[in-house]
Chain A
Amino acid sequence: MLSIRNLNVKYGQIHALHGISLEVETGRVVAVVGANGAGKTTLMMTLAGLLSPAGGEILFEGTALPKEAYKILGRGICLVPERRRLYANLTVRENLLMGAYLRKDKAGIAADLERMYDLFPIMRERIKQYAGTLSGGEQQMVAIARGLMSRPKLLLLDEPSLGLAPLMVQFMFKTIREINAEGVTVLLAEQNAFQALDMADDAFVLETGRVLVSGSGKELLENPLVRKAYLGVKH
């Protein structure tokens, strides 16, 4: 579905991604794990069109991605950014409607709003509340729901578990699997390596802008290098 070949991204003098190559296959949950500064967010922002690559190619369903972020969403790739970044000055409902900005099917949008309230029942009580007044976990639900409202083929999640209570983290990962079961391919970046690897089909470990190892989630959980560096397991 998505194939990234030899991708290079720079912020001025800083070389953030050094020739990354990776594949995301249709219908899977793919995790990119790594420490702070490994380049996870840079990768996500480049895929969504907020950063432009210095070299390499990104193919989505066989063709190159457009340059502008709003056109990339039109192709079916949606990023839920790090720290959720909801519109605090809009209500929960308006935030969700912004997610459906490119869609014209009013009936479909109304039906999807209902689906989102079913997925996250607590949101139903918060429809008219300003998004800035929600708790961190509730904000993350709204952020994911806002992303889903665009009906993406590929959902990019940047640190969905950041700053959440442990129970909420579990709930979030369970929800991501549910979303995937409905046919949305998911690429997520996570610092929370153990849980991300545990739930992902495929995974990549990023270190200082390079892919260190890749494999299925379970394989990487067993990989001694990964266990030592990211899971804090001593041998």
Chain B
Amino acid sequence: MKTSTSSPRVWTVAETPVAELEHVCFSYDGERVLDEVSLRIARGDFLGIIGPNGAGKTTLLRIVLGLLRPSCGHVRLFGTDVAQFRDWQRVAYIPQKAVAFEARFPASVFEVVMSGRVRLAGLGRRFAAPDYEAARRALETVGMLPFRDRLIGQLSSGQQQRVLIARALVSHPDLLVLDEPTVGVDADAQEQFYSLLHRLNREMGTTLVLVSHDIGVISQEVTQLACLNRTLVFHGSPEEAMRSGALAEMYRAQSWMVAHRH
């Protein structure tokens, strides 16, 4: 369990950032997808990353999660270089729903949530009472406890998304990374989803990194905004983004954001 969230947090300049990127670049087949991206994510931040298709948003997430090795630069998680980082239970990832699993996968909601607890329970060990309790609580947090025995594929997209959040929460992560989590989720469920994120961030102190194309919602919810287009175009609070004209610039330049606003 985390102790940091129960006591009032003291902010110091020296506090180790949750994640730190220094001059990170990445190339696919010789083509630069990310160029010189430097970014600091402090504890308790809710960072929204926006940018057009092909801006390198997902690549950036995958680098932070250690799934891709940057071509140059450094990435540190909780002060440790990502290549040496072993404390992965502090990090959880919510992928785009569509790529997460097959619709016909024969898993119950409870089994899916428990799968987020595998590393924490220990390799080759059986789940114990605290694991089941954590899964029950995580399902309660996202309001899906009554569905625990349902087949995951039979739920609506919004419900599946909540189950994937529960799977991420079950290890009590300090950093939660979300990649376009509301794609294919209806408006009502989206609203519930964002209020859940709000609670996780403000009440439980979880640091959130969210990639989204939905600039309207994102700029209302997040505390920090990063505009990415191969390089980091802007990083700061949403208000600053508004003032500096970075948001307006992105709106004007890209029809992709308008297309997604209904």
Query: Are the chains A and B members of one assembly?
Result: no
